[in-house]
Structure 1
């Protein structure tokens, strides 16, 4: 299967596919670290047989993002190492989630390996047992490279990949701690310090907003569904810190939730660009790249375009900081992805798939993620590779920010099956807030609307 990418499309719109040719900073960093000769040398010194599944073919289904680009750009390295052929596809996340769920439900998915957004689909995948338990594979010395070093994965990433029954049905790929991007030039012009709290962020954003010059203090996700993860970023700073309790009781209309909604409303209504009610991450990125926004809170994987002088007006002017603190706690939102092996694949293909996962999540590719600005790897060793990091296209400020963010982050979404419905319902309330609706009333209405959905989902467990 050819490497493909699908354009973003709304409901009912056709999704067009086209070939990816991502260049620039990502390619440079990936090329710098592409060392197949060293891989072959290391393999020659090891008793582990990388070619034990030679001749097999794997189909890999990935979400479109900078990390998937790195893997597909270096895919030949794996093929030469193992003799396994790989067909891979990249599809935007919303369409990808729908696609793999539909295919899994048929019992005959077209892929052997799938990238999974654990903050969205973890419980769904785990309940249906769509993916194989990886722990027995790791315990099998005949198919697991002794240099795999599972202990190198961060504790939080491993917890994200582990189901409540103890099955580990994905291998951690990426830990996505949200950070705050800021425009150094705009802050310096008004002698404004980097905010440490959300209250300070609002004050600074308000002071930097100048519509007459098309400069705005803040840009963030306003699009329904996508906007929920910004609201939960604020909620994590309160005493509540979650949207459901351990018994799956919904708690989204409390005073803490209302505070988070009011902070969201103020920033989006008073400090964000016109039209931001329809912004997802890509529109936010474009506004920030154009130098029109002072602050942006989002995932760390968007740094590469910001630092590309051919595309960005803020290249060399972008600062990186951990998310601000709330009134009770200092926690940034954490999201994560993992790779699953289809339970429907044959034993031979599962073995080949396990070899692919070891390569894909190996230390070299994880370091490529970090040096290429593709976000925070699930492993901790890349943060210690000072020589490689000095040669990267990103400053140590970015690297240190990610390392610090991983220390304070907490899950940004509840681990429930109807997480998409949750985001749609709460997202509608947030959209109405940007339009000027009362925060407490909107959250009460959304909570009442979603409660039976969650209860029905739990009864089906």
Structure 2
């Protein structure tokens, strides 16, 4: 099996794209707001290693010159970052004043412990919030995603990651295969597109336990069931719809994916697709930048973007993941920290996220900047798919505290099916195993 490139290598593929010129004028320079109020202060910021984190790290001097605040910004690989911030939050003495929060992993855990400051009062304080901030520009769905069940918004939504269908335009055109709109169509298309003699498969997807849950949930979101826990906070991952999603997962991974897919995470999938050895791939839109890097990708300029296919049910959703930036309650630098968040998620930086493929902004205004979109490296189809995905997006994982254990237990069951295990049996076993874990967690909430 060809090994996938590292996360650092993959993200570096988009580095050249991150130097896009500023399109939005510096409205802040025209404002009477006192950006120098906290001059001389120093704050620490921790974010995940990603095109977004790299963009903000490179722009740090801009923030320091605007505010007079010195900022230490560290960029940490995703899994290590999630572990780091939880350990430090729990210690009661976090080393950071701003932290990136994976809403699909840590939202409920951080909310339950009330580790972060409620940002709404900061937004409403005219002495602390620039009149150019424009909170109404943040999409309602992302604001809801960043809001806890008790109404506190303990992070400001930063970006969304929608699951989309990537496809190789040349491979589909060569076989006269239309872009599929249902999972059944996609499976049949994948069989037609396979070319064993050239080591090309019709599909590539995550088979590794834990990582594979987000692909399975993409199938589930196209059924009559769109949640993994019901209104009573009970686990429902062994229903007929859940089993259908498991059967579809098994078919794709066993029948039309590369050998060794049982060990594939996003990086192996990305490498396979970049090399032109898979016709279709369903995954997060945040991986688009390396695909369009002509120095690294064999499919640059040949990538098509489409909505995830629809299943047999009444629903048609794409999986939504995302992050926000929060301020620890324990921080003594809440004012300067809030200044950094305002800068990091201003309209200009959010537009840079969009036009460079670094991520889908939580703000709405970037999508209406026709000049920036027209000059972007990415094709118009990319932006059209993002806009359409925003209308059908739904959380791709349940908002629970033991979400990592959930992904491990259910993910192991799905991985077992790739080896031939019965789907219904595996999902029932995994659901029974995890149900008391969830019930205990809910009692403690």
TM-score, with structure 2 as normaliser:
0.96
Residue pair 1:170, 1:340 contacting (<8 A) in 2 also = yes
Q: Is the 8 A contact 2:13 2:296 kept in 1?
A: no
CA distance in 1, matches of 2:327, 2:286: 24
User: Contact (CA 8 Å) 2:64, 2:70: kept in 1 or not?
Assistant: yes
Q: CA deviation at 1:393?
A: 0.8
Q: CA deviation at 1:457?
A: 0.4
Pair 1:380 & 2:364 matched: yes
Residues 48 and 145, structure 1, Cα contact 8 Å, conserved in 2: yes
Q: How does 1:140-155 map to 2 (within 5 A)?
A: 140-155=125-140
Deviation (angstroms), 1:43: 3.3
- CA drift at 1:302: 1.0
Residue 377 of structure 2 aligns to a residue whose secondary structure is coil
Question: How many Å separate the matches in 2 of 1:400 and 1:133?
Answer: 34
Local SS of the residue matching 1:293: coil
| 1:376 Cα deviation after fit | 1.1
After TM superposition, give the deviation of residue 194 of structure 1 in Å.
0.2
The 1-side partners of 2:323 and 2:109 are apart by: 14
Q: Of the candidates 30, 53, 65, which is equivalent to residue 19 of structure 2?
A: 30
1:402 to 386, 391, 410: 386
Shift of 1:211: 2.6
Equivalent of 2:346 in 359, 362, 369:
362
Residue 131 (1) aligns with residue 116 (2): yes
Give 1:424 shift: 0.3
Q: Within 5 Å, which residues of 2 pair with 1:51-200?
A: 51-200=36-185
- Cα deviation, residue 28, structure 1: 3.9
Counterpart contact for 1:29–1:393, Cα < 8 Å: no
CA distance in 2, matches of 1:398, 1:100: 33
CA distance in 1 between counterparts of 2:29 and 2:317 reads 45
Deviation per CA, 1:323-344: give whole Å up to 9, x if none: 1111112111111110010111
Q: Structure 1's 21 and 268: CA in aligned 2 closer, same or farther, altered over 3 A?
A: closer
1:292 paired to 2:277: yes
Report the 3-state secondary structure (helix = DSSP H, G, I; strand = E; otherwise coil) of the residue aligned with 2:43.
strand
The residue number in structure 2 matching 1:393 is: 377
What does residue 332 of structure 1 align with? 318
TM-superposed CA distance for 1:136, in Å, is 0.5
Of residues 207, 210, 216, the one that matches 1:222 is 207
> Counterparts of 1:21 and 1:72 in 2: how far apart (Å)?
17
**CA RMSD, aligned part only?**
1.6
**Counterparts of 1:367 and 1:26 in 2: how far apart (Å)?**
16
Q: Does 1:341 align with 2:322?
A: no
Distance 2:392 2:17 in 1: 31
Deviation at 1:398, TM superposition (A): 0.4
Q: 1:115 to 1:443 in 2, by over 3 A?
A: same
Larger CA deviation: 449-458 vs 67-76:
67-76
Contact 1:27 1:70 in 2 (8 A): no
Shift of 1:122: 0.6
Give the number of aligned pairs: 439
Could you tell me which runs of 5 or more consecutive residues in structure 2 were left unpaired when the two chains were aligned: 1-5
TM superposition score normalised by structure 1:
0.93
Q: 1:44 to 1:373 in 2, by over 3 A?
A: closer
Which residue is 1:13 aligned to?
A: none
2:197 corresponds to 1:208: no
Displacement of 1:65: 1.2
Give secondary structure in 2 for the equivalent of 1:218.
Answer: coil
| 8 A contact 1:174–1:338 mirrored in 2 | yes
Q: CA deviation at 1:31?
A: 3.8
Are residues 28 and 251 of structure 1, via their aligned partners in 2, closer, same or farther at CA, if it must alter by over 3 Å? Answer: closer
Q: Is the 8 A contact 2:250 2:417 kept in 1?
A: yes
Report if aligned partners of 1:34, 1:74 keep a CA contact under 8 Å in 2.
Answer: no
Partner-residue secondary structure (3-state), 2:202? strand
Offset at residue 44 of structure 1 (A)? 3.6
Does structure 1 conserve the Cα–Cα contact (< 8 Å) formed by 2:165 and 2:308? Answer: yes
Give the C-alpha shift of residue 210 in structure 1.
2.5
Q: Deviations over 1:199-231 (max 9, x none)?
A: 101110111122332101111111110100100
2:416 aligned partner:
432
The Cα of 1:26 is off from its aligned counterpart by: 4.0
Tell whether 2:303 aligns with 1:314. no
State the alpha-carbon separation in 1 of the partners of residues 208 and 122 from structure 2. 41
The 8 Å contact of residues 115 and 329 in structure 2, kept in 1 or not, is answered as: yes
What is the match of residue 400 of structure 2?
416
